Chain A
Amino acid sequence: MTQTMVKSPGTEMAFIDEVCSIPGGEAVRSCIQCGMCTGSCPTANKWDYPPRKAIAMVRAGLRNELLSSNSMWFCVSCYSCTVRCPRDIKPADIMHALEIISIRSGLSTKRSRTPIMYQCFVDSARNYGRVYELGMMIKLFMRTNPFSALKLAPVGLGLFLHKRMPLKPSRIKGIAELKAILDKARALGGAK
């Protein structure tokens, strides 16, 4: 098989091994390409490479093509694929692993706003210990397309008027302690 020859940049690892090294990604070798995941996916028609194909690409070593695509960013974590997969390979977890590698490698697509949204969410959770939804949304729109906020403004206003959109963040007492935990996790070497 030639795919074992495709090395990931900066590592001595083949793409498939890189995916397998993230908890949840390790079962990718057991796929029988039956297509149950794609057939079960509520957003498959939006993916550059739908789930079954994405998994085939991991095994074929098509690293850059897959990691720069919009594919895994359309995973809504509904886990329909996961409960139906006849090989128990948890395709949703594999998509999460691909998202992680895509961000880590700087390959995440600009055609979907999901990678930036996820990073805004993580920043918010790290800064306050809890997610500050309004702040996160503002950051998302500023980093993508500020004008698109106009479309969603009525929804935000509706939530605000129904006391469901606090203007201030809620911060945990142990925020310094939480940051120390997260920094240590980061220092221990990412998601391996």
Chain B
Amino acid sequence: MKYYTYYPGCSAEATASPLGISVLPVAKQLDMELVELEDWNCCGSTPYWSVDKLEAAAMAARNLALAEKTGFDLVTPCSNCFVILHSTNEYLKEFPPFRDKVGKALAVAKLKYGGGVKVRHLAEVLYNDITPEGIAAKVTKPLKGLKVAAYYGCQLVRPNGFDDPESPHSLDEIITSLGAEAVPWEMKARCCGSSLVMSEPEVALELINKLLKNASENGAQCLITPCPLCQINLDAYQSQVNSRFGTKYNLPVLFVTQLIGVALGIKPDELALSQNIVSPMRLLSPYL
């Protein structure tokens, strides 16, 4: 059994609930003990980062201070939470005056952060600690014949990634370990438009369209992604792309943990498969 402190992030409780739900049974089957960080708060995310950096770092640091008490690595399934918590750690190391101010802010709540927490992305933990071989050993329903495009998005692999920032391969190896076929495609680590889908929808829809086009032209029957925002953009906005560009995509977009869960023989309910907007049920029915 491997132990981790778990930081779900806000979206895993809401718009990315299929992620938050599917992580738990998958971790259990893979002998990972994820202990949720007590009373964690929002990481601050890119918006706070772009409004006030000191407040943003103090917000992230409350989580780091709480996590430090647990003594385990802090694991998040959210790519944006990962970048923010990881970068906060770096800024606190690199900029002593900044660290002193964050320290004074934390002290108001009798908290202290010594800089000792290792922040990790769940996908990296699955790849490095559990390993594709370890996952393969637990597969009970091999996904033979299923063509899957691994969509890494940006913040899993940039700027602090564990994989190649331009042409990553870790999730492709995980797909193969499940018995499925990893479809090669060029745009696997290109941007989906992130939160600009709300403020500048035209810009984001254009980027989402490019991704769906590239994945489907390469024969993908579905995509997987570790990132809440990427999943929402490609799944929930797929019908908007279809009406905007006259396309007819019907590509299910699963969270990595959902696809792993199917291959591990976990029930569809426990993986929240019915919560995906583009239904993956017909595609996955041979394996359920």
Contacts and interface: CB of A to CB of B under 8 A. Distances in A.
A80 B159 CA distance: 8
A107 B18 CA distance: 39
Contacts of B281: none
Nearest to A129: B41
Nearest to B190: A42
Given A114-B196, A159-B277, A181-B59, A42 B191 contact: yes
Interface centre among B49, B57, B201, B240 (most CB of A within 10 A): B49
Given A79-B158, A182-B105, A185-B58, A74 B53 contact: no
Contact of B275 (A113, A162, A174): A162
A86 B108 CA distance: 41
A121 B47 contact: yes
Contact of A181 (B49, B94, B106, B198): B106
B141 interface: no
Contacts of A114: 196, 199-200
Contacts of A56: none
A76 B274 contact: no
A151 B205 CA distance: 13
Interface string B79-117: 000010000000100110110011011101101000000
B194 A78 contact: yes
B52 A191 contact: yes
B281 to A, nearest CB: 13
B24 interface: no
A181 B240 contact: no
A125 B54 contact: no
Contacts of A100: 50-53
Given A79-B159, A188-B105, A133 B15 contact: yes
A178 interface: yes
A174 B199 contact: no
A186 B59 CA distance: 11
A74 B200 contact: yes
Interface residues of B, number: 69
Interface residues of A, number: 68
A99 B41 contact: no
Nearest to A177: B109
Interface stretch (A5-13, A29-37, A164-172): A164-172
Given A159-B236, A164-B275, A133 B10 contact: yes
B64 to A, nearest CB: 12
A4 B138 CA distance: 63
A180 B190 CA distance: 39
Given A100-B53, A121-B45, A80 B158 contact: yes
Contacts of B154: 76-80
A77 B174 CA distance: 26
Given A140-B199, A191-B53, A162 B102 contact: no
Given A77-B154, A180-B109, A125 B48 contact: yes
Given A80-B191, A112-B200, A184-B108, A131 B42 contact: yes
A91 B106 CA distance: 29
B195 A117 contact: yes
Interface in A102-160: 103-104, 112-114, 116-119, 121-122, 125, 129-131, 133, 137, 140, 151-152, 154-155, 158-159
A149 to B, nearest CB: 10
A154 B46 CA distance: 26
Given A78-B194, A163-B17, A185-B102, A172 B40 contact: yes
Given A42-B191, A121-B47, A181 B53 contact: no
7 contacts: A122-B51, A133-B14, A140-B199, A154-B240, A155-B236, A155-B239, A164-B275
Given A24-B53, A178-B59, 15 more contacts: A23-B94, A76-B154, A79-B159, A83-B158, A112-B200, A117-B195, A118-B48, A125-B41, A133-B11, A133-B14, A158-B277, A159-B15, A172-B39, A181-B111, A184-B105
Interface pairs A-B: 7 shortest CB-CB: A79-B158, A118-B47, A191-B53, A121-B47, A113-B199, A78-B191, A99-B50
